[in-house]
Amino acid sequence: MFEDKTQQFLPFNISHALNGVAVTDVDNDGKFEWIITGYNGPNLVLKLKEGRYINIAELDSPYEALRDTTGAGRGVCACDIDGNGREEIYILNTNHHYSGPKTYRDKLFIWRNDKYVDLFSDVVNAGLPMFAGRSVACLDRNGDGKYGFVLTTYADGGRGAFRLIEMNITDHKNNISTGNIVLIDSAVEAGINYTTGGQGIAVGSIFGNRGLSDIFITAEGKTIFSNIGNNNLFQNIGNGKFTSIAPSAVADKNQDGRGVSLCDLNNDGFMDIVYGNWLGPHRMFLQQRDSNGDVRFQNVATKDFARTSPISSVITADFNNDGYIDIFHGNMFYVLDYVEHKYVLTNNRLFTFKPTNNVLSLENIDIGDAEESTRSTTGASVADLDGDGYLELIICHNDLNAPTLSIYEVKQVAGNHWYRIMPLTKFGAPARGATVTLTLGGGIRLTRIIDSGSGYMSQMEPVAHFGLGQRLPKSVSIVWTDGRHIRRSVSENDIDTFYIITYNGIMEAQRNEWILAEPIKLNGEFWCWMENWKDSTMCACVGDGCGQVVVIVCFLNY
């Protein structure tokens, strides 16, 4: 499946331990970058330029603060916390604290005065307590387009419940235009302040309740820390509040959970939960509904899929664009004896799930170069940064065998088509947590969640990626986190195309490279220029200042 492109794409050496990976537009140029947490070295921001990656988080650059060279980064994710249309970046640090309170602080980076600065370093936010943890994900619990950050903290003796860091919307000291934001921990208000050994997290509309985002968190139990280790499934009941409803099967209290991903494996429109257990059986829970609409989860993992391993990351995506979900297992070293240096070496694995004629088929397939039988996987992520319609896979390592970052591309399959779409919030930021359904000929429905955080310590691109194989799409439906629903027809002319759809339903094919200038206000309206240097097209757009384009007028610039 995968070909190693590390040497081709990465012209410099990375030798320090790496953990989480997220995908966001760091420099606000309309293209995504990878942001990678360093555990014993600087964080990285990799930008694809002229076929190779460069690290833009350099000294004396606007992105210097993102390096955080004294932090020991684990989880990372990005989303728009203040509703200005630009995603902020959260990095969860541990600095050798396995559990409980910690002294070194997390970082929440915001763009202010033409550079990134840390909100936790502001005096108004200095009093927020910090706890050790693993993963972080975004949550729009109120459906208003303003996100918070959910932290899977690792409690110690009851200290260190899950956290939900949001903008305190009632504080008069907030100034969104200058990037001065007052933060608050809303976990108690939301009803998710549980204490356990938090590990992986995935956020999305699991129960399909008007698009409301639900939360699934894997956990590890250790009596020494007074943690029982139940996984948590939080259902959004509206008004920004949650209730814990994890049935005994999904709670999995006797296992130590790690990476997790949400997907619709059997194309029934219901979100399924796939996760790995550290040195335990891995799970694949299909969501099912009875005649009364009551939910239950059935584990359909085969013996081969469930085979125990020192797993870290779990990713679900259609890598080869054949129309079926693939499941990536990223495994670590497991140390049997620190003195004699005995290890369990477990290679990464790849499966494909095919629901055909009401028969579910789960097959272990050739992973190719990404097998990595002598490497130790930590975080991993996927995105299509080179625009070829196939997802790249990026894997972090902590085994210190340079390079500690691997970049893989898929061996492309002739005739396999694709369709990609990214919904935006009403503020113009990626609508993380939204649900996108693509209907194909014959009534087959493929459903994706715009990733808010998943895998392990990581976050995928905020794009619904659909492999089509030889099939043709008929329509696409988007449900935002506030329940807003838009449906558009799709034709054969739309395949192999990346679309962006605004909150008010304007769709634009991203076939060319646009440069969006800063808006200026004239007579109460916001005007901006969009220039396409490939075909010399220029567009003037008039908007309301909230990311909603009202009028677009294009002409040729000779």
**Does the pLDDT value for residue 513 go beyond 50?**
no
- β-pairing, 507-509 vs 405-410, is unpaired
pLDDT digits (tens, 9 = 90+) for 31-62: 999 999 999 999 999 999 999 999 999 999 99
Question: Which of left, alpha, beta for 199 (phi over 0: left; psi -120 to 50: alpha)?
Answer: alpha
Q: For the segment 450-470, what is each residue's pLDDT rounded down to a tens digit?
A: 999 999 999 999 999 999 999
Q: pLDDT-based confidence at 121, cuts 50/70/90?
A: very high
Q: What is the reported pLDDT for 510?
A: 82
- The one-letter amino acid code at 244 reads S
Q: Where are the beta strands (DSSP E) in 95-240?
A: 107-112, 115-118, 133-139, 148-153, 163-167, 183-185, 197-204, 214-220, 232-238
pLDDT reading at 517 higher than 60: no
Q: Which CATH architecture best describes the domain 70-379?
A: 7 Propeller (2.130)
Reported confidence tier of residue 341, pLDDT bands at 50, 70, 90: low
pLDDT of 545 strictly over 70: no
The residue ranges of DSSP E strands in 2-51, in sequence order, are 2-4, 18-24, 33-38, 44-49
pLDDT for residue 282: 97
End-to-end CA distance of the chain: 45
Which pLDDT score is estimated for 554? Answer: 39
* In the chain, domain spans: 70-379, 515-558
> Could you give the CA distance from residue 316 to residue 451 in angstroms, rounded to a whole number?
11
Q: Which range among 33-37, 227-231, 399-403 has the greatest average pLDDT?
A: 33-37
Q: Which residues pair with 394 in a beta bridge?
A: 381, 407
> Would you call 532 helix, strand, or coil by DSSP?
strand
**Where does 350-401 have alpha helices with state H?**
none
With a cut of 70, say whether residue 522 has pLDDT above it: no
Q: Are 353 and 324 in contact (CB under 8 A)?
A: yes
**Range with the poorest average pLDDT among 299-303, 316-320, 418-422, 550-554:** 550-554
Q: 550: pLDDT confidence band, cut at 50, 70 and 90?
A: very low
Higher pLDDT, residue 134 or 359? 134
Ranking 112-121, 355-364, 378-387 by mean pLDDT, the lowest is 355-364
pLDDT of res. 184: 98
Contact (CB, 8 A) for 295 and 209: no
Instruction: Please work out, in degrees rounded to the nearest 5, the angle formed at the alpha carbon of residue 144 by the alpha carbons of 143 and 145.
Output: 100
> Does residue 525 surpass a pLDDT of 90?
no
The mean per-residue pLDDT over the stretch 113-120 comes to 98
Distant-in-sequence, close-in-space partners of 49: CB < 8 Å, separation ≥ 6: none
Whether the pLDDT of residue 540 is over 60: the answer is no
The mean of the pLDDT values for the chain is 90
User: Residue 511 — pLDDT band, cuts 50, 70, 90?
Assistant: low
> How distant is the alpha carbon of residue 318 from its chain centre?
15
DSSP 30-41: SS-EEEEEESSS
